[in-house]
Amino acid sequence: MDELQRIWKRHAYLMRISTAFMYGIIVSIAMNFFWTPGHIYSSGITGLAQLLATLCKGTALPISAALWLFVLNVPLFFLAWKQIGHRFTIFTFLAVIFSSIMIKVIQPLTLTHDPIICAIFGGAVNGFGTGLALKNGISTGGLDIMGLTVKKHTGKSIGTINMAFNAFIVVAAGFMFGWPYAFYSALGLVVNARVMDMVYTRQKKMQVMIVTARPNSVIESIQTRLRRGVTIVHGVEGAYKHDAQTILFTIISQYEQSELERAMHEADQHAFVSIAENVHIMGHFYEPEP
């Protein structure tokens, strides 16, 4: 068993490293193929790096967006190391360093200068990369680190800070390139957020109701595969055959839906399963450590 755990852990680490590398390539495509040619700014620290690179252009010290991206994240690495965890910080560092290198290495390819196309496709490409990274347990740095730190100590999110920061980036785009570009950048932020939500499904909660004649097998399978609590309602009767049934309730993330299907196939293929999406919960809900 210990050997299997070591193999699985090694596989998980390799998966995260390869995902960090893929994220670096994806964000460089968004930056060099769409955002830069279209004068579109991204969200968060990446957008701030673009803004500082624009301000430095033509000065005695023209620092690129790639270098700014790394420099701005350095103090956040120390914060993550102290407040969140060493493993989390290492994978975040890899994601940021791969991003900085790839933005510098992959040569810009101007497909179009149309700001609407650049905003939509740049946002979609980056949203896919960010969602993929988050789905595989990797932070892309920047405001993610601040958000997790604040949540750890206060239990609250920094949604307002995120919105204010991104509003500042949008206004900066207006000052730099003209006010239409502020709206184009805002469009890119919306597309980025929507695509990221489509790819990253861990934060979406789903309520599962299971009607089964084999409750013990189902509970064991769910708790083995998913580490989720289950509420049991005994003494339920089916209206068609009047046979004895049990209702089980649990909450999972959308990311775990495929594991739930495997658990049900393994425990009771004849069970009736109903899933309600986008539920809001209060109380404890287990989240894997970052």
Q: What is the CATH number of the domain that holds 271?
A: 3.30.70.120
pTM for the full model? 0.74
Residues 62 and 140 grouped into a single domain: yes
- Characterize the bridge pairing of strands 272-277 and 231-237: unpaired
DSSP-assigned letters across all residues of 91-126: HHHHHHHHHHHHHHHSPP--S---HHHHHHHHHHHH
Together in a domain, 12 and 30? yes
The pLDDT value given to residue 1: 46
Q: Is 55 found in the same domain as 12?
A: yes
Query: Do 98 and 161 have their domain in common?
Result: yes
8 Å CB contact between 131 and 198: yes
283 part of a folded domain = no
**Total residue count of the chain as it appears in this document:** 290
Instruction: Pick the last residue of a domain from 199, 227, 247.
Output: 199
At 288 the pLDDT is 61
Judgement on whether residues 131 and 162 belong to the same structural domain of the protein: yes
Mean pLDDT by 10 residues, the chain (290 residues): 62 85 93 91 89 84 88 89 84 92 86 91 92 82 77 64 82 86 91 84 79 89 84 85 88 80 87 82 63
In which order are the strands placed within the sheet that holds 272-277?
231-237, 244-253, 205-212, 272-277
- Determine the pLDDT at residue 169: 86
Whether 220 contacts 180, CB under 8 Å: no
Domain co-membership, 29 together with 117:
yes
Say how far apart CA 130 and CA 133 lie, in whole Å.
Answer: 5
Q: Kindly state whether residues 117 and 139 are assigned to the same domain.
A: yes
Question: Is residue 71 assigned to a domain?
Answer: yes
The pLDDT of residue 123 is 92
In a domain, 290, yes or no: no
Side-chain half-sphere CA neighbours of 257 within 13 A:
15
Residue 244 located in a structural domain: yes
Instruction: Look at residue 34 and tell me if it is in a domain.
Output: yes
- Boundary residue ending a domain (159, 175, 199): 199
Examine residue 285 and state whether it is found in any structural domain, yes or no.
no
The answer to whether the beta carbons of residues 28 and 106 sit under 8 Å apart is yes
Same domain? For 211 and 173 the reply is no
pLDDT of residue 258: 80
- Asked whether residue 56 falls in the same domain as residue 160, the answer is yes
Say how many domains are in the chain. 2
Query: What's the domain range around 272?
Result: 205-277
